[in-house]
């Protein structure tokens, strides 16, 4: 692996000045890299150079670090970026190139990444391991102080993997795959191929964990070099009866975490005993408020129909709140969930899209925003039996909110504002 000292005379460009871009800039400054040019397409960010100068620097650059979510085919510099695509890396690439970490656990997949990463971190900390949870989960990897004694648990999205060239996880987990981000990647094939890059640089000393049969076939077809471990059902029901969970999750999240724990000699009984104290994640099936008549769940992280479907199937007698920016190509089988949903509330800038999907299958009400919905629910007890108010938008947040975290926090705040009415 290269060392950061080899980069001292290299020209860097950071494209995108969100959370990740800023952490990358700070990192390069700490490493005394002087030749760093930044750019952001947002009108809210004041760039220090003009477009003409940026194009010159783009062609001179040795490395172009792209922030997650930036699709080079949809930028003002599409032509130039495609021409210089071989120079494009990610912040995670820079982490591997400059630090050469001993042990990293990288997790990707369509659903369950954050939960699986957090379970692994929780168990490992209980065992006394030094860990760092970072990546797509919201903690930029370059913001963390490097410690070779730490085990780095990295959540990796398809956006990050798309442009990655140097990632080499010791343990790579590919949880599952379903249709998502097709508007960004262009096709399901491209989406899958971006995620498969998690295995590309692994050697025979590394481990690859897969459960899905189709992904296993693709793994073998591509002749990746890691040790393939097929994750199977571990018959965990008995342990969960003994150590009941404080959160709701997919069994496969636990199954993958259990397989990783085995590689670190963590005993099965210790794993489940430690899991009992794990409370789950904010914005992922988060039960945050209960009364005699209501259970309120914040599932704002559900940015696709598939994620919302999983949340719905975990509950009964549901009032479902959904809406936002739908993902191109996203599909859901309403037939599988309609018997669990008593009523739906649709909000946001794309209510027509969602109402067309639910029409004739699930009764629904359209409201302008979340506050209107919470207000209406608080004024009217819809059913005599205890019901679950499930905020699972089935779409991205960007039509009205900065991200799913802000959206979830807003929902919880409205519920708490009207809390007295729910008793």
Task: Please give the average per-residue pLDDT across 11-36, as a whole number.
Answer: 93
Q: What is the mean pLDDT of residues 6-19?
A: 90
The predicted-structure confidence for 198-226, as pLDDT tens digits, reads as follows 999 999 999 999 999 999 999 999 999 99
Tell me, which fold does domain 4-89 have in CATH?
Answer: Rossmann fold (3.40.50)
Task: Give me 367's structure tokens.
Answer: 């409201």
3-class DSSP state of 262: helix
Token pair for 369: 């925003």
Question: Which three-class secondary structure state does DSSP give residue 248?
Answer: coil
In this predicted structure, the answer to whether residue 262 has a pLDDT above a threshold of 60 is yes
Cβ neighbours of residue 137 closer than 8 Å, sequence gap 6 or more: 113, 114, 117, 118, 155
| Residue 209: both structure tokens together | 């964990």
Least confident of 136-140, 160-164, 281-285: 136-140
What pLDDT is stored for residue 4 in this prediction? Answer: 60
CATH code of the domain made up of 286-422: 3.90.190.20
Cβ atoms of residues 118 and 281 within 8 Å: yes
pLDDT at 369 over 90: yes
- What pLDDT is recorded for position 214? 96
Q: Who's near 78: CB < 8 A, 6+ residues apart? A: 72
Q: How many CB atoms lie within 10 A of CB 296?
A: 23
Q: Which residues touch 298 (CB under 8 Å, ≥6 apart)?
A: 282, 283, 286, 288, 391, 408, 411, 412
- From the list 72, 95, 69, 84, the residue with the least C-alpha distance to 11 is 84
Q: How confident is the model at residue 246 (pLDDT cuts 50, 70, 90)?
A: confident
CB 317 within 8 A of CB 383: yes
The pTM score is 0.85
Architecture of domain 93-275: 3-Layer(aba) Sandwich (3.40)
How many Cβ atoms from other residues are within 10 Å of residue 53's Cβ?
Answer: 12
Instruction: List pLDDT tens digits, range 44-83.
Output: 888 889 999 999 999 999 999 999 878 999 999 999 999 9
Q: Chain-wide mean pLDDT for the chain? A: 92
CATH 3.90.190.20 residue ranges in the chain?
A: 286-422
Q: Where in the chain is the domain with CATH 3.40.1190.10?
A: 93-275
pLDDT bin (cut points 50, 70, 90) of residue 1 is very low
Q: 25-34, 337-346, 373-382: which range is least confident on average?
A: 373-382
Is residue 99 within 8 A of residue 145, CB to CB? The reply is: no
Q: Where in the chain is the domain with CATH 3.40.50.720?
A: 4-89
What count of other Cβ atoms lies within 10 Å of the Cβ of residue 236? 17
List the beta strands (DSSP E) in 272-386: 286-290, 294-298, 318-322, 341-346, 364-366
Helix axes 113-127, 268-275, angle to 10 degrees: 110
Among 21, 10, 4, 39, residue whose Cα is nearest residue 141: 21
Q: For 84, which DSSP code?
A: T
């Amino acid at each position: 692996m290269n060392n950061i000292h080899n980069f001292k005379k290299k020209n860097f460009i950071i494209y995108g000045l969100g959370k990740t871009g800023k952490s990358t800039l700070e990192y390069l400054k700490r490493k005394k890299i002087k030749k760093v040019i930044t750019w952001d397409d947002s009108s809210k960010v004041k760039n220090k150079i003009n477009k003409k100068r940026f194009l010159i620097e783009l062609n001179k650059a040795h490395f172009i670090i792209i922030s997650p979510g930036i699709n080079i085919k949809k930028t003002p510099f599409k032509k130039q970026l495609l021409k210089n695509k071989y120079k494009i890396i990610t912040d995670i690439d820079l982490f591997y190139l400059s630090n050469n970490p001993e042990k990293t656990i990288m997790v990707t997949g369509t659903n369950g990444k954050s939960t699986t990463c957090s379970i692994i971190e929780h168990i490992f900390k209980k065992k006394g391991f030094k860990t760092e949870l970072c990546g797509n989960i919201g903690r930029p990897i370059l913001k963390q102080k490097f410690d070779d004694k730490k085990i780095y648990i990295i959540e990796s999205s398809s956006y990050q993997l798309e442009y990655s060239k140097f990632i080499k996880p010791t343990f790579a987990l590919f949880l599952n795959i379903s249709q998502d981000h097709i508007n960004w990647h262009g096709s399901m094939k491209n989406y899958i191929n971006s995620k498969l890059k998690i295995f590309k640089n692994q050697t025979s000393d590394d481990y690859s964990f897969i459960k899905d049969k189709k992904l296993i076939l693709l793994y073998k077809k591509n002749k990746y070099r890691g040790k393939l471990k097929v994750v199977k059902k571990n018959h965990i029901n008995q342990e969960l009866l003994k150590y009941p969970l404080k959160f709701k999750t997919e069994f496969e999240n636990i199954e993958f975490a259990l397989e990783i724990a085995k590689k670190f000699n963590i005993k099965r009984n210790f794993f489940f005993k430690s899991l009992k104290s794990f409370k789950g994640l904010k914005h992922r099936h988060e039960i945050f408020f209960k009364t005699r008549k209501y259970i309120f769940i914040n599932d704002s992280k559900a940015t696709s129909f598939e994620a919302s479907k999983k949340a719905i199937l975990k509950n009964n007698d549901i009032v479902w709140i959904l809406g936002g920016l739908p993902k191109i190509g996203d599909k859901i089988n309403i037939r599988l969930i309609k018997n669990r949903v008593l009523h739906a509330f649709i909000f946001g800038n794309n209510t027509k899209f969602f109402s067309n999907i639910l029409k004739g299958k699930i009764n629904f009400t359209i409201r302008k925003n979340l506050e209107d919905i919470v207000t209406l629910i608080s004024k009217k007890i819809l059913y005599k039996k205890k019901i679950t108010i499930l905020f699972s938008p089935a779409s991205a947040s960007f039509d009205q909110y900065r991200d799913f975290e802000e959206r979830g926090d807003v929902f919880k705040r409205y519920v708490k504002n009207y809390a007295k009415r729910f008793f």
